Amino acid sequence: MPNAQLPTPGQMGVTFADGIGTIRVYSETATSIQLCILDQDDPRTVTHTVALNKGDNGIWQGTHSALIPGAKYALRADGPDGPKDSFNNTLFLIDPYARGVVRESAREYHCVVLDGEFDWQGVSKPNIPLDELVIYEVHARGLTRGNKDLPDDLRGTYAALGHESTIAHLKKIGVNAVELLPIQILISEPHLVKNGLINYWGYNTINFFMPHHRYATAAAIQTGPEAIVAELKTAIRELHRNGIEVIMDVVYNHTAEGGSGGLTYSYRGLDNANYYRQDENGHYQDTTGCGNSLNFGNPHVIHLVLESLRYWTNEMQIDGYRFDLATTLARNEINHFDPNHELLRAINDDSTFAETKMIVEPWDVGLGGWQTGNFPDRFSEWNDRYRDSVRRFWLSDIASARTSGNHWNGVAELATRLAGSRDIVDGPSGPIGGVNFITAHDGFCLKDLVSYNVKHNNANGESNRDGANNNSSFNHGHEGDGATEEIRIVRRKAARNLLGTLMFSTGIPMLTAGDERGKTQNGNNNAYCQDNVMTWLNWDLTRQQQDLEDTFAYLARLRRENPVLRAKTFGDFNSATEDHDLLKWYNSAGQIMSEDDWHNQECRTIARYNQRDYADGSKNALLLVIHGAETSAQVTLPEPDGISSFELLWNSAHESPDQSSATFTPGSAIELSGTSMLLLRAN
């Protein structure tokens, strides 16, 4: 099978020639496959049946004059009854390449042939350079569901994504890419449905081409898949018109058909033995924790994913992808991770994706699954070490110092993360090979990270057993709500320190939607099944929430205005040029950090100096001063060559950005509040 002759791009699914529709389907093991043309008014009724013919390499095909745009259809398949097979010739199956899919009931779906015509009005992709990217991870429904300024029929829809009020918010806070949690059509797991819940996050895809219907307006759903696709395209167009890219979180590692006891909707009924990884006894080899894993040792599975990516890139104008549990996608025919895997090579080599952002979650739950730093240079990787290091410095270490009098860590690990994590992403892409994040959809949101020591997931119906137990969080003296104002003040400063660290670190920053305005999930660190105010973005802000949003917007502006905060290469201690930054580290006495400083776990104060020189004689130079202990400290400013003054740009001790300038002389002493950071411009 590894040497199978694959179809050329664009051949699979329904295609047209001279007005005649042809369908092509892959199955190695089926003995028969039927195309069922369905009645327009009653899609449970078959009007025409076409027996597909099996050709080379497991490709079945057939034609029919009724297979035109708007036609409704499904597939039926029959085959052997072996331990790896799961055929049932009474079931309607979804065409894996269907562009339109409609859910009739919990068990019933049909496909629709789409025309796909759309007026992009000359709007093209922004093509934002990776070093300028500020990613906003967001749920397509949750972003706008609670926005009462939107008409009721738009709230929580694709149309709302492209609405002027949504775009105004994105532009105000300074993000230029929305990373949408999965929007390919999905199914909620049976145990959630039984408990009256749904899979809100959406990591349970059933087709890799059709947008999920639930995020469309009622009018679009009523009209059908063509209208749903057009609504999403309109949102993408309007975001692009305003310089905002759209990145999709895609779940190609498994499908919603689940494990051996799961339901059959598509792939399992067409060729269970070859779409999914199984042993010879038919037991699923699951590296995803979701019941099944697609078999990326099969070239036809690779082809399916590539065709899906081409469709979303070309037809839907998507700017980039975040691959969920990407290690599974790069497991070879013996289920081992291969950094030279055929899928990764194909993405690299295909000109379709030349300008497309490719971001991976570089792990799965299988043997050898943690592969951070091991993906090809083309792929920017979620940096979980960054997340853990920054949380430890600002939260776990502070908690330790309160209880034991000792911090667990000094500044060495934090400095490595601030400088771009060269120990992880030391490749030709430099620091933009890593995506820095402190929170994501999975885990505590920012406010809860500084307000809870333990998870509170009882609302999920699993007796608080679900979700991570090790969060490196700190409640600062009181669990959750009901804290004193003194504790709340310290929590807000901790949140600002975390945001400041994120935005001033080298690498691509990713913010979880709502963190910029202090959204809480009441301590739930696994809110995957909560489609309610717990997970929706809050739009009625308190003064403190508005202050935090203003702070993040200001931090994003500082990052945008200062190239040394978004370096494309790793800096060094020697010189500054237009393409390469000078980087120096100083201790609290204003001296270059010594070996003893780096290895002292109680050395909790450090200053990072970055400088970039330009051909015209100008420069961009910043000093970031970090103090990671709760007692105040006196810091002597360093004396870099050619610097006559430092201008204060930001102090995390302030509730909102204070842009009144204060200047300091190199070598002078300044006072830092406990657990705080300063950013200064060097002149």
* Catalytic annotation, residues: 324, 361
Query: Is the CB of residue 284 less than 8 Å from the CB of residue 335?
Result: no
What's the chain's length in residues?
683
* Alpha carbons 574 and 15: distance in angstroms, whole number: 59
Q: Is the dihedral of CA 589, 415, 511, 169 positive or negative?
A: positive
* Alpha carbons 131 and 429: distance in angstroms, whole number: 10
Residue written as token pair 């490196």 = 472
> Judging by beta carbons within 10 Å of its beta carbon (0-12, 13-18, 19+), is residue 279 exposed, middle or buried?
exposed
> Judging by beta carbons within 10 Å of its beta carbon (0-12, 13-18, 19+), is residue 99 exposed, middle or buried?
buried
Write a three-state SS string for 20-73: EEEEEEECCCCCEEEEEEECCCCCCCEEEEEECEECHHHEEEEEECCCCCCCEE
> Judging by beta carbons within 10 Å of its beta carbon (0-12, 13-18, 19+), is residue 428 exposed, middle or buried?
exposed
Would strands 605-613 and 582-586 be described as parallel, antiparallel, or unpaired? Answer: antiparallel
Query: Is the CB of residue 506 less than 8 Å from the CB of residue 417?
Result: no
Q: Alpha helix (H) ranges present in 208-360?
A: 218-223, 225-241, 267-275, 299-314, 326-329, 342-349
